[in-house]
Chains A and B, each alone.
Chain A
Amino acid sequence: MKVSYYPGCTLKTKAKNLEDAAVSSMAALGVDFQELQRWNCCGAVHSLADDDLIHHVAPVRDLVRAMDQGSRQVVTLCSMCYNTLARANLLMRNDEVKRKTINDFMSEETDYHGEVEVVHFLNFLRDTVGWDTLRSRVKASLNGMKVASYYGCTLVRPADVAIEPAGGGKVMNEFIDALGGSPVDFAASTVCCGSYQILAHPEAALEVIGRIIESASSAGAEALILSCPLCEYNLAKKQAELVSSGKISKKLPVYYFTQLLAIALGLGPEASRLDLNEAGSVEFLKAKNFPVESGARA
């Protein structure tokens, strides 16, 4: 099965662990995961102003490429890319006037009307691979590990691009369950981590990051999974700072959901790329007897 996927910029640099784990897992599951050719940055955020059409050109161009390369769907891993591509796609489907302006502007490209489907990898696992298939391929069960699913904003808001209906909050839990883990529900699973404000207003972002970590820990989570490199930066890389300032009582290991997938499929350290995670995350899995090497450096 050939599937076209859009990595996005961050997966090629800071979030290699999100991408490598997914690509290896798909190979192990017999899915031919093919990177979209000549993709460009999606712009990271959807433009919200009515007169600002130029910022929709980047994501639409990616969708045109996918269509031209014969793909009916594009799978994304990064939550922010998912949101930006899916919303640009909806705009091209639903807004006749803006669609015409954008198509006219991109006169050198094929006209686009929203032909391609933008799918997040979690939904791809659920709908195309299937939880039962996934369950049958698990070699190293998470063995009841208590994992909190952190959705953040861009997978669930706004409702018209949410990866599942409002109040669902199930797909990531079903994923954890299929890998043999115990999903932990916690109040802050869709609370924003402060996003890009970590750069402009770090004190405001750190406050909410602390609340999210504490909420997951106090719900009994041993680990937290997510699918966004910006959430990962905020929720994982900022933990040491939060512990020293007393905003959180203890660290909580954070993984990309694809890393737990690779580990459960028995793919080992080269696939899961835990060497790129924060200190403590490898040790936690080692203590649980997963075949992960703390010294592995790619």
Chain B
Amino acid sequence: MLPETAPVRACGLVYPARALTEPLCFLNVKGKRKNMPIEISEKTIKHEFIEKVSQLSGQDIFKCFQCGTCGGACPMSGQMETLPRRIMRMAQLGMEENVSGSETSFTCASCHTCSANCPRGIDLARVMEAVRLLTLRKNVNKINPSKVPAETVRELPQIALVSCFRKLTS
């Protein structure tokens, strides 16, 4: 943990260290339970990740002020391991491993309900796509088309197969 007074620079903004770590006590970070301290410092912030997410999504992720409207509106949030709001916060803080390690972007159905409701005008569906692609482009597949049972393939409309493979395979 950084001393309370040491400032941290994240994307041009200088925060007192405490301002950054406090909200994180509520982040459900993989492997760490609630209220576990998480170190956020110039060493841990992946600026390149912040840059990539911003570029791919075309969104200013720093507009997010953590109201949680996205997760409240999300039809899939009941089954999401990390709510979209938390993904946004972790992305702002360049917590690449935590963002990419979360299944959230792969549980997203790209329905744009979050984007339609965000009071800050962030197109969250694009942020989710960026996060998804940064993982998929490392040659990762979240579903294996050849393992989908023949019965399911016969039954499903093509648009289901095409869209699922578009979103979940590299």
Contacts and interface: CB of A to CB of B under 8 A. Distances in A.
A50 B159 contact: no
Interface stretch (B16-24, B26-34, B36-44, B55-63): B55-63
A50 B109 CA distance: 19
B146 to A, nearest CB: 14
Contacts of B158: 9-10, 13-14, 41, 44
B76 interface: yes
Contacts of A52: 133
A260 interface: no
B3 interface: no
B78 A204 contact: yes
B78 A50 contact: no
A124 interface: no
A140 B15 CA distance: 68
Interface string A5-22: 000111001110000000
A230 B112 contact: no
Interface string A223-266: 00000111011000100000000000000000000000000000
B129 A191 contact: no
Interface in B124-158: 125-126, 129-130, 133, 142-143, 148, 152, 155-158
A108 interface: no
Dominant SS among interface residues on chain A: loop
Interface residues of A, number: 47
A199 B156 contact: yes
Contacts of B143: 199-200
Contacts of B110: 45, 48, 195
A232 B160 CA distance: 11
Given A51-B56, A208-B76, A199 B109 contact: no
A196 interface: yes
Contact of A229 (B116, B152, B157): B157
B63 to A, nearest CB: 17
B113 A208 contact: no
A197 interface: yes
A191 to B, nearest CB: 6
Interface stretch (B6-14, B82-90, B92-100, B161-169): B161-169
Contact of B57 (A41, A50, A157): A50
Contacts of A192: 75-76, 109, 111, 113
Contacts of B161: 196, 199
Contacts of B130: 48-49
A196 B142 contact: no
B157 A10 contact: yes
A9 B55 contact: no
A31 interface: no
Interface string A45-73: 10111111001000000000000000000
B133 A197 contact: no
Interface in A263-297: none
B35 interface: no
Nearest to B152: A199
Given A195-B110, A208-B75, A49 B133 contact: yes
A198 interface: yes
B112 A158 contact: yes
Contacts of A14: 156-158
Interface string A176-190: 000000000000000
Contacts of A207: 78-79
B75 A194 contact: yes
B115 interface: yes
B107 interface: yes
B58 to A, nearest CB: 5
Given A8-B159, A15-B157, A199-B148, 10 more contacts: A9-B162, A44-B159, A50-B58, A157-B116, A196-B163, A196-B167, A200-B164, A201-B76, A204-B79, A207-B78
8 contacts: A9-B162, A13-B157, A49-B56, A50-B56, A80-B163, A166-B116, A196-B109, A200-B142
Interface of B: 55-58, 75-76, 78-80, 106-107, 109-113, 115-116, 123, 125-126, 129-130, 133, 142-143, 148, 152, 155-164, 166-168
